[in-house]
Structure 1
């Protein structure tokens, strides 16, 4: 019978089998999202069966096409498709959808499921990561054209495009003319709560067109040939392409075209009815061997026809990507006397000479953050090899794009803004940590000393909030040597994002190279030692210099400890911590110009935490330090008062 069917009809039969298989997973789990499975199945089928150059036996193949399921709630469909394509996913894995420690979690997770390129679920961020992947491809292709030359695909839904981050990243993608980025839009006019018109009547196609995207339409999302033609045309476009695929959410199911289709699993009876409607003989978490063979044969054929990289280029690529030990730069007294952000800028230049993979930019704040590679121009459509990115005032977009660049591999990416504005990026930083991506976040203007700009620009709670994110190294170096070691640490990281917190003002010239390395390595180090102190003065960042001044004024014997990474210090064994802060009866005093909550773990029950638990004010920096008691005399008085208790 199948021999009498057209190719498109055969493809549609395969799609229907995927629809049933993915819904079988959802019904077994008792939760999931059948609406996108039924509606968007033709899109994923076309991508994997007929478009993408991938190698299921080598999911990390260097020059593979990338696909990001930004609408991450469609995970069941993605897993079923990856199984059909031949990735290391077994029927038993599909049967364990949404169960503990399975290969098939509720939303896609990078590193858990073979073939999944990005962790998605928080809507909009998948689009940002796809933009980042396309930017990384564009730069690497310009450097090594026969080694890196691939497409980046993404699937987005109405929810993705409502999220503000979609505006930020789509705008930049258009600016950058990322012609190898193809985004398919599951355009079904339904959201979780009801009709999309309840909350959004914007014209998404005109919006993307205004950004400089090529716009394509597929009038019937069930017509695989139309999807195929739209993608083929998109490959010829000099711009990124948005393909609007008109779909019906939950098509063929009991809640077709209803918001209930979004997250209502089918009952066993409804699943049987679906398989009957689609003329699919349901088997337990498997597909017919003819279907598997058809899809996998096509994938193998595309793989066999991929161009072979030029030998000299491949050698050059491997040489540039080779790991080399980074040498700490020597810092002159003149450099060390500068503000922290300027010291960091100087250090970045030295490491950029050693490591050509480094690139990055700021959220329109290069002049303030000093986070740029001097001597290189702007990455642009006219010059893809440059190393500075003009992210614009798009903090959240910058974070999600950096995640995509890191996911692509091959390069080291950094992005900078003011610490107070890190709140815009918190969701992206969280995904950096979840995906174990060595993204480098540079946050300057770290305290009240922002001054006259006032409380909107003065961070109070941000620093401790960043420390609370699991899997992130938050470094607030207090000396020039610590800044250099912090950059070295960040650039050497393989599986953890790093946040560098830098001061606007001068931090002083104290410190030496060894103590800087020890502080970053262990989270803290003694910079003023004493055999039998009464007080341990512990500080981070700019307040290290304040701690040193307090040490000199305090009549009681004391140690001074710089703690640039509180989380790393606390994670050590008791013995290791005691080597830095001995348990000899000395009382711990913490000095940090931010919220005090959290420092009790270091201070202990008898310790004193001196910080700021209210918003700042608009005034000159020194006036603010006087007002909030962050001065030598005020802190000495507080310590004396505490010791008298």
Structure 2
């Protein structure tokens, strides 16, 4: 199902860039090959509904309708009329013999003539066509045919050529297709040559050297502004302010949300909405389709020319986790804005309060999971995410307001090393308090309490574990120190022992949340400055 979701993003990217560059530069079709299993996945319904709504007429899906799945005939589990299903979502549909190339070519030609709807061409095929005994059975789905069946298929198909030999007539036909389209290719290259160098480059990578410099300059200015204002902001609000500064800097930045625009802060006054048949905008309403949003953003990124970001609540990362995983596996710059990142969201209760999601996301290789502690860190995390051209990013942001901790602006992006010493006590450390996001300010308050007792506590902010792990051992040791450590995060403990060691202590969640105001919940679950200070005292005594 991921492929059809990616195809939606690719087709959407084509229309967005066509609006910006014109037909001579961007005017291609997107073709997707899908099987029975692809259309059974729930993601497929999200995808076909979204693309039908947007009227993306240049998407053509070729459905290999062989009616076989791994367990056997698809009738074991599904009896949907796929053509009616797609028509219900505003698709043009056709059904052809999947072994008749002329019929397929005619269906494609007709589909290309439908400009206001995507097209599905159901190609009725026989899996393992030509195999004497296994054709049309599940035995051909995931296993080799074997010598006897291959020999029988060769005889049935009249194929006498050696393995891996491409017959000369077929090779000639293939090369003729390339020659036939040479004039179209040359017309395109002539049009592309008339673009300035930057516009040509940004068709592929929307963040070139100049835009990267502009991003860093904008972030530096934001950090200065945040420090000067000293406002207490939820990091979802900080993120929105960052986007307001970045939108004019990055023409290829395309935002969106899964029906939570007002809650996640992904829309600014500089955005206009992408509408059915109208692709001049730069903000996509994905609807309550988190999985399709993730898959489509992968397609937008893979197409080139666009940096996609999309927002939902952190707890709903579970709904789009397979797409997040593929963002990482494919090395795509996709930014997931995940807000309401802890019990701090309050009264919505345990169904909406993420406790295990941070640990689960950190388990995905090649994914940056960033949880900024204040507005300045939020700006730094956005800079890192946008300049990481082959790594996706999760921005885990708060609903509740957080005090500004970084009151003195610095040119250096401290978050880029994943963790850094926010406060180093004079005269050496007695204990080190490690925290992320909203709990960094709790650690700061705990350190003040301990200071009054003559206990010297260092504060380490850890906005991104993955970046910190990538630093050299000397830097990591200088940050972590050699004294006992306390970790603080309003989430489950899983993974923290890497930083705390076997003798460390953790203050966080031990189970699911509850419905109450945020302040009451932090007290109820024992995530308070007093609890952090008590854990530090206990470690020092044990030492």
- Specify the alignment match of 2:82 in structure 1: 204
Aligned pair 1:234/2:111, yes or no?
Answer: yes
- Indicate which of 317, 334, 339 corresponds to 2:199: 317
- Indicate which of 119, 131, 135 corresponds to 1:256: 135
Aligned pair 1:541/2:437, yes or no?
Answer: yes
What are the Cα deviations for residues 400-455 of structure 1, in whole angstroms up to 9, with x where unaligned?
00000000011110011000000011100110011100101110001001111110
SS in 1 for 2:248: helix
- Specify the alignment match of 1:79 in structure 2: none
Aligned pair 1:430/2:311, yes or no?
Answer: no
Q: Tell me how far apart the structure 1 counterparts of residues 274 and 412 of structure 2 sit (CA, whole Å).
A: 33
- Specify the alignment match of 1:354 in structure 2: 249
Q: Tell me how far apart the structure 1 counterparts of residues 74 and 275 of structure 2 sit (CA, whole Å).
A: 36
- Indicate which of 428, 453, 457 corresponds to 1:558: 457
- CA displacement at 1:313 relative to structure 2: 6.2
Aligned pair 1:244/2:125, yes or no?
Answer: no
Asked if structure 2 preserves the Cα contact closer than 8 Å seen for 1:144 and 1:313, the reply is: no
- CA displacement at 1:567 relative to structure 2: 2.1
- CA displacement at 1:185 relative to structure 2: 0.6
Aligned pair 1:194/2:93, yes or no?
Answer: no
- Specify the alignment match of 2:402 in structure 1: 507
Q: Tell me how far apart the structure 2 counterparts of residues 276 and 549 of structure 1 sit (CA, whole Å).
A: 80
Structure 1 stretch displaced more, 513-522 or 380-389:
513-522
Aligned pair 1:569/2:450, yes or no?
Answer: no
- CA displacement at 1:183 relative to structure 2: 0.3
Where do residues 340-351 of structure 1 align in structure 2 (5 Å cutoff)? 340-351=235-246
Aligned pair 1:465/2:357, yes or no?
Answer: no
Asked if structure 1 preserves the Cα contact closer than 8 Å seen for 2:134 and 2:149, the reply is: no
- CA displacement at 1:319 relative to structure 2: 7.2
- CA displacement at 1:301 relative to structure 2: 2.0
Asked if structure 1 preserves the Cα contact closer than 8 Å seen for 2:507 and 2:531, the reply is: no
Asked if structure 2 preserves the Cα contact closer than 8 Å seen for 1:361 and 1:416, the reply is: yes
- CA displacement at 1:288 relative to structure 2: 1.8
Structure 1 stretch displaced more, 335-344 or 312-321:
312-321
Q: Tell me how far apart the structure 1 counterparts of residues 192 and 164 of structure 2 sit (CA, whole Å).
A: 44
Structure 1 stretch displaced more, 266-275 or 542-551:
266-275
SS in 2 for 1:305: helix
- CA displacement at 1:605 relative to structure 2: 2.2
- Indicate which of 295, 307, 329 corresponds to 1:400: 295
- CA displacement at 1:267 relative to structure 2: 1.3
What are the Cα deviations for residues 204-233 of structure 1, in whole angstroms up to 9, with x where unaligned?
111111111101111x21111100000000
What are the Cα deviations for residues 119-159 of structure 1, in whole angstroms up to 9, with x where unaligned?
xxxxx000000110000000000111121110100011111
Distance 1:433 1:513, change over 3 A: farther
Distance 1:580 1:303, change over 3 A: farther
Q: Tell me how far apart the structure 2 counterparts of residues 232 and 435 of structure 1 sit (CA, whole Å).
A: 32
Distance 1:203 1:596, change over 3 A: same
- CA displacement at 1:510 relative to structure 2: 1.4
Aligned pair 1:180/2:94, yes or no?
Answer: no
Aligned pair 1:485/2:380, yes or no?
Answer: yes
- Specify the alignment match of 1:163 in structure 2: 41
Q: Tell me how far apart the structure 2 counterparts of residues 534 and 448 of structure 1 sit (CA, whole Å).
A: 30
SS in 2 for 1:154: strand
SS in 2 for 1:133: helix
Distance 1:465 1:574, change over 3 A: same
SS in 2 for 1:453: coil
Q: How many residues are treated as equivalent by the alignment?
A: 519
Asked if structure 1 preserves the Cα contact closer than 8 Å seen for 2:236 and 2:397, the reply is: yes
- CA displacement at 1:245 relative to structure 2: 0.9
Gaps of 5+ in 2: none
Asked if structure 1 preserves the Cα contact closer than 8 Å seen for 2:233 and 2:374, the reply is: no
Asked if structure 2 preserves the Cα contact closer than 8 Å seen for 1:183 and 1:243, the reply is: yes
Asked if structure 1 preserves the Cα contact closer than 8 Å seen for 2:486 and 2:535, the reply is: no
Q: Tell me how far apart the structure 1 counterparts of residues 328 and 19 of structure 2 sit (CA, whole Å).
A: 29
Asked if structure 1 preserves the Cα contact closer than 8 Å seen for 2:381 and 2:416, the reply is: no
Q: Tell me how far apart the structure 2 counterparts of residues 500 and 356 of structure 1 sit (CA, whole Å).
A: 21
Q: Tell me how far apart the structure 2 counterparts of residues 174 and 435 of structure 1 sit (CA, whole Å).
A: 26
SS in 2 for 1:433: helix
- CA displacement at 1:304 relative to structure 2: 3.1
Q: Tell me how far apart the structure 2 counterparts of residues 385 and 451 of structure 1 sit (CA, whole Å).
A: 38
Asked if structure 2 preserves the Cα contact closer than 8 Å seen for 1:519 and 1:563, the reply is: no
Q: Tell me how far apart the structure 1 counterparts of residues 363 and 201 of structure 2 sit (CA, whole Å).
A: 38
Asked if structure 1 preserves the Cα contact closer than 8 Å seen for 2:244 and 2:270, the reply is: no
Asked if structure 1 preserves the Cα contact closer than 8 Å seen for 2:300 and 2:306, the reply is: yes
- Specify the alignment match of 1:150 in structure 2: 28
- Specify the alignment match of 1:289 in structure 2: 168
- CA displacement at 1:617 relative to structure 2: 0.9
- Specify the alignment match of 1:101 in structure 2: none
- CA displacement at 1:349 relative to structure 2: 1.0
- Specify the alignment match of 2:498 in structure 1: 601
Q: Tell me how far apart the structure 2 counterparts of residues 336 and 216 of structure 1 sit (CA, whole Å).
A: 58
Q: Tell me how far apart the structure 2 counterparts of residues 572 and 139 of structure 1 sit (CA, whole Å).
A: 38
SS in 2 for 1:314: coil
- Indicate which of 415, 418, 422 corresponds to 1:520: 415
SS in 2 for 1:243: strand
SS in 2 for 1:353: coil
- Indicate which of 625, 630, 642 corresponds to 2:527: 630
SS in 2 for 1:386: coil
Q: Tell me how far apart the structure 2 counterparts of residues 471 and 454 of structure 1 sit (CA, whole Å).
A: 31
- CA displacement at 1:516 relative to structure 2: 8.8
Distance 1:516 1:356, change over 3 A: same
Q: Tell me how far apart the structure 1 counterparts of residues 195 and 114 of structure 2 sit (CA, whole Å).
A: 28
Q: Tell me how far apart the structure 2 counterparts of residues 400 and 522 of structure 1 sit (CA, whole Å).
A: 29
SS in 2 for 1:644: helix
TM-score scaled to structure 2, two decimals? 0.92
- CA displacement at 1:395 relative to structure 2: 0.3
- CA displacement at 1:634 relative to structure 2: 2.2
- CA displacement at 1:517 relative to structure 2: 4.6
